């Protein structure tokens, strides 16, 4: 098997809605006589095995890397490395996990189906670098500060494997101006010490996970292993003017 075989599996997945397809569909597409240089069933299975196996550790990397793709129910494959598409599997998995499971279980947040909004578009003209988050979640805390308090804003930078680094922390902090909480969620196997120090200093929450669809594999603050102990975001002081500026920048309506 060659790297080219792995690339063909990934290229096929990237073009599918949500970057996922059944294993049967992958076989059909890559073995078809209509395809350029059709692959055998053995070659396709070997390529699938490769992309669903964690890559070898890199000495130059500060974070371990989980598999590029995962199998779901043994019948379909989901690729997590795509960005800049109208539908991104990684972003949607985190949106679903945070609003329905991680946020309520770990933070006691009260969220609804429409409270997590993906923001794949470009920031408004003149907003500058690091202005547009990947996800914004509106949620009431476990205890509201007042009976009619507005939902607090949780702002997210979401990183795939190759993008997770110290710069991600500063980007998360900067693009959350006007929001109550800045989060960095990354598809990686643990939080490196350098990132932990920077995030703690800035109050940025950091959570890593090996399988974006498995809530049980997301870091939590009570984990014994330090590298998998989630860092909780500190609440930032914001004014009504800050909130308005944030919502204007990301082109979202205030749900109140």
Q: Where does the chain have alpha helices with state H?
A: 3-14, 23-31, 41-51, 89-97, 166-175, 193-202, 240-250
Residue with tokens 């204007």: 248
pLDDT higher than 80, residue 11 = yes
What's the token pair of residue 124? Answer: 């408004």
Model confidence over 126-170: pLDDT tens digits? 445 666 899 999 999 988 877 888 899 999 999 988 889 999 999
Give the CA distances from residue 163 to residues 49, 115, 185, 213, in Å, rounded to whole numbers and listed in that order: 23, 26, 11, 19
Model confidence over 44-81: pLDDT tens digits? 899 989 888 887 655 544 456 788 888 888 789 998 98
């Amino acid at each position: 098997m060659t790297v080219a075989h792995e690339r063909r599996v990934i290229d096929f997945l990237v073009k599918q809605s949500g970057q996922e397809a059944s294993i049967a569909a992958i076989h059909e597409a890559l073995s078809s006589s209509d395809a350029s240089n059709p692959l055998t069933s053995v070659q396709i299975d070997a390529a699938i095995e490769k992309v669903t196996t964690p890559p070898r550790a890199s000495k130059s990397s500060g974070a371990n890397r989980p598999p590029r793709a995962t199998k779901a129910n043994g019948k379909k494959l989901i690729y997590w490395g795509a960005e800049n598409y109208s539908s991104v599997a990684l972003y949607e998995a985190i949106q679903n996990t945070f609003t329905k499971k991680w946020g309520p279980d770990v933070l006691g947040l009260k969220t609804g189906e429409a409270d997590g909004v993906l923001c794949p578009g470009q920031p408004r003209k003149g907003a500058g670098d690091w202005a547009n988050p990947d996800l914004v979640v509106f949620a009431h805390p476990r205890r509201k500060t007042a009976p009619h308090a507005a939902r607090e804003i949780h702002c997210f930078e979401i990183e795939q494997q190759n993008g997770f680094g110290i710069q991600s922390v500063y980007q998360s902090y900067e693009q959350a101006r006007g929001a109550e909480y800045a989060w960095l969620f990354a598809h990686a196997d643990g939080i490196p010490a350098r990132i932990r120090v920077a995030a703690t200093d800035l109050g940025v929450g950091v959570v890593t996970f090996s399988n974006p669809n498995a809530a049980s594999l997301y870091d939590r603050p009570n984990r014994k292993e330090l590298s998998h102990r989630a860092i909780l975001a500190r609440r930032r002081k914001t004014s009504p003017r800050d909130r308005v500026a944030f919502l204007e920048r990301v082109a979202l309506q205030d749900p109140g």
